[in-house]
Chains A and B, each alone.
Chain A
């Protein structure tokens, strides 16, 4: 074992240095900025469009007294119901209410509220009228009543949380944590697919295979990629935190997980490492069979689909804590890290995580061993058939 670890370290060190000091790594670090920038740009444009569209403005064409009463009623209702639920009224002076929303005119208004408070009329398209008729009737009713109908006030006493809200909050934390874990694993684990192509293309594999066990090559490559992934994540997380702190008032508030934030974050890192190593060892084994970049590209699609299945399994089970499907997701190696992180948000027992991490580590070693055997048999043409493959799993490296 020490020799295996030593050899893995030699491979990992070489790979890690080759990745970190390459120009490509800079672009890797910049990677998330592109979708973020597009997202911000799209969000900004979309927001502007939404603001323009969702003003819910109606032109108010009534006499001065009715208009004033309607505007006052609108303010009162918006305070109680919320700004978005009550249409905005803009007083417009015109003798021809239809002309306000006539084709080719100003498109700021969804319709026109005209007539008088006693006999109001709503002009607009069928959809807008159906949507806003109710709120506008309420508004007109309030305007007719004037100050006589003061809104009822209910005395309140606030509690910090209810049992239902704690559970609900932790579920949200579980889902957010799981989604982040899946996203990062999906982004990064697929890169392992092409990890042995360089060695095979440049004929280096022969030198490596003659000097160290194939298991050590696989293990070293996997840990080098994990190191790179963790550096990327640390970098992106720091930048994201900085951006949030600079742009907003503070971090978005997520409900505290059952196990507490420090343990949850530590487990998040540990489960990411395990998810990465589990999927990575599987992908490395599959990718090692490919001899060209094109073959690797062909393999990446089914690999991504496989990841999605594990994600669906884990996310489906997140609301079914303790049920058979959730237990299966927690035990099945490839969904286990995701399911267990969701558990950490909802249950405070620590022992189950130690057990799960041990179980996942066992599978990582098993997959590396299997991948290495498969590589020896199919690529190096060493060892026998299926029997040799199975026997080799438990033989010497």
Chain B
């Protein structure tokens, strides 16, 4: 296995006059869970489609499992597209087998595995049912199993949580973790920060077709200084000079960014100045705050709207 499952440099895709993807660089280490985080229309799907070779980039290069011809390694890749699709007249286990057969798994073996996987996920009774008769959630599970049936090294999931209820979302998270535990590389796109924050070791934030940040979740959060919330008994005193310039008072509370020098010098000054510390909390910024800081307020607002829409749909 190569060190990086995916490498992309300067990917550009232009539709008409719009640069849907504008110079995207990505590196996905093998065996990691990687999230592409951004609002709808940011270029997530187009980026994934370019990585998989469904569309060719207008500029830039990409390698998937060491080759720049993604279809050459199609047998080692599993893909769940954003727009789910199955042949309605196929039986559930056959649909899984067919998706495996497309990627080189013998049909008989695919059927055997399909039945076993459905059984394992509590859908044994649905194995012989036609896809058209399944509920939306069941059909989505069938498609996900079809993505995994040939035991790929790399799994690409485009908005996998979309349309799933909370129960199935949790189930999917467990499946993704299980795959990663087996050494499989998982890359998924999402507009739900919580999923990326919970699952991913590394993320790429995408907005307006560009990737302003790619790195670990921790690195993203470290882009912002921790926030301090201080409660004092005294309202005024010499100790106030020790507070940073951005400190905002609110009654007996003060809110400010943790100084570069750390919390210890500040604490010393507050104690010596008899500020009367009642409480002190230091909060590390979450991924949401990091997203706002990195992608901008507009992208963050759109992301929130997408999430609300998603919740309403679910």
Contacts and interface: CB of A to CB of B under 8 A. Distances in A.
B166 interface: no
B74 A207 contact: no
Contact of B81 (A14, A207, A376): A207
Chain B CB within 10 A, most for which of A7, A206, A211: A211
B52 A210 contact: yes
B87 A381 contact: no
B113 interface: no
Interface in A1-50: 6-7, 10, 13-14, 18, 22
B83 A206 contact: yes
Interface string B99-124: 10111100100000000000000000
A202 B88 contact: yes
Interface string B46-87: 000100111110100000000001010010010101011111
A306 interface: no
Contacts of B84: 203
A124 interface: no
B189 to A, nearest CB: 14
The contact size tier of chain B is 20 to 34
B283 to A, nearest CB: 42
A382 B102 contact: no
B89 interface: yes
A383 B53 CA distance: 11
B98 A205 contact: no
B71 A206 contact: no
Most chain-A CB neighbours within 10 Å: which of B55, B88, B90, B102?
B102
A2 to B, nearest CB: 11
A381 B55 contact: yes
A212 B81 contact: no
A260 interface: no
**Which of B52, B53, B71, B77 neighbours the largest number of chain A CB atoms within 10 Å of its CB?**
B71
A206 B69 contact: no
A208 B102 contact: yes
A210 B83 contact: no
A348 interface: no
Given A210-B74, A211-B102, A202 B87 contact: yes
A211 B85 contact: no
A207 B99 contact: yes
Contacts of A198: 87
Contacts of B71: 211-213, 397
Contacts of B53: 210
Nearest to B46: A381
Interface in A362-397: 376, 380-384, 396-397
A210 B54 contact: yes
A204 B101 CA distance: 14
Nearest to A392: B56
B144 to A, nearest CB: 12
Contacts of A384: 58
A203 B83 contact: yes
B103 to A, nearest CB: 5
Contacts of B99: 207, 211
Nearest to A205: B85
A350 interface: no
Contacts of A13: 107
Given A14-B98, A212-B102, A213-B71, A206 B54 contact: yes
Nearest to B53: A210
Contacts of B85: 199, 202-207
Interface in B207-238: none
A7 B105 CA distance: 11
A380 B55 contact: yes
A209 B77 CA distance: 13
Interface string A269-306: 00000000000000000000000000000000000000
Contacts of B107: 10, 13
Given A210-B79, A211-B74, A211-B102, A204 B86 contact: yes
Contacts of A397: 71
Contacts of A213: 71
A198 B102 CA distance: 17
A380 B54 CA distance: 7
Contact of B89 (A18, A206, A396): A18
Contacts of A204: 85-87
A397 B74 CA distance: 13
Contacts of B74: 210-212
A206 B81 contact: yes
Interface in A318-371: none
Contact of A211 (B69, B86, B88, B103): B103
Contacts of A382: 54-56
Interface string A185-229: 000000000000011001111111111110000000000000000
A207 B144 CA distance: 12
Contacts of A380: 54-55
Contacts of A14: 87, 98
B151 to A, nearest CB: 15
A153 to B, nearest CB: 73
Contacts of B101: 10
Interface of B: 15, 49, 52-56, 58, 69, 71, 74, 77, 79, 81, 83-90, 98-99, 101-104, 107
11 contacts: A10-B101, A10-B107, A22-B89, A202-B88, A203-B85, A206-B83, A207-B99, A210-B52, A210-B53, A211-B102, A383-B56
Listed from nearest, the 5 A-B pairs whose CB atoms lie closest are A203-B85, A382-B55, A211-B102, A204-B85, A206-B81
Given A202-B88, A396-B69, A397-B71, 12 more contacts: A6-B104, A203-B81, A204-B85, A204-B86, A206-B83, A207-B81, A207-B99, A207-B102, A208-B102, A210-B77, A381-B15, A383-B56
